[in-house]
Amino acid sequence: MQRMPDVLEGRLDKIAYPHIRQRLEQLRDQPQAMLDYVNGLFLDTRDGQRRGFDFTTASTLMTIKHDLMLQLGELERLRHEFTPWDHDFRVAGPAQPYHPPAKLPKNW
């Protein structure tokens, strides 16, 4: 079985908050728990104000979140959940603009 790449490798030192680094290190072998923790960090509010991070910490946490979602197959699941494929749904390519079918006049 192929080992999953470590999503924290080279990233922990970019996070400015020691308690967040420590918790991520504890959750290293539990990708779903780590994803839940990172999601919780972005949703955390204090006195009705959203918690803010410096740019480096926020971008590092988003990179970790993205890699965890790829590992866990979350992005693929969300893609299928929010873009159901049916005959009326088409993706326009860059070279071919998509024009929806025009309605025919009455009594055609």
Q: What is the pLDDT of residues 7-58, one digit of tens each?
A: 888 899 999 999 999 999 999 889 889 999 998 888 776 666 666 788 899 8
Q: Is residue 6 part of a domain?
A: no
Q: What pLDDT shows up at residue 13?
A: 92
Copy the structure tokens of residue 71. Answer: 């590992």
Q: Is residue 95 part of a domain?
A: no
Cα→Cα distances 52→44, 48, 49, 55, 77, Å: 9, 12, 9, 9, 29
Concatenated DSSP letters for 24-56? HHHTTT-HHHHHHHHHHHHH-EETTEE----HH
Q: Is residue 31 part of a domain?
A: yes
Q: Is residue 42 part of a domain?
A: yes
**Residue 61: other Cβ atoms inside 10 A:** 22
Residue-number span of the structural domain to which 61 is assigned: 12-77
Q: Is residue 97 part of a domain?
A: no
Q: Is residue 46 part of a domain?
A: yes
pTM of the model: 0.63
Give the total number of structural domains in the chain. Answer: 1
Q: What pLDDT shows up at residue 64?
A: 92
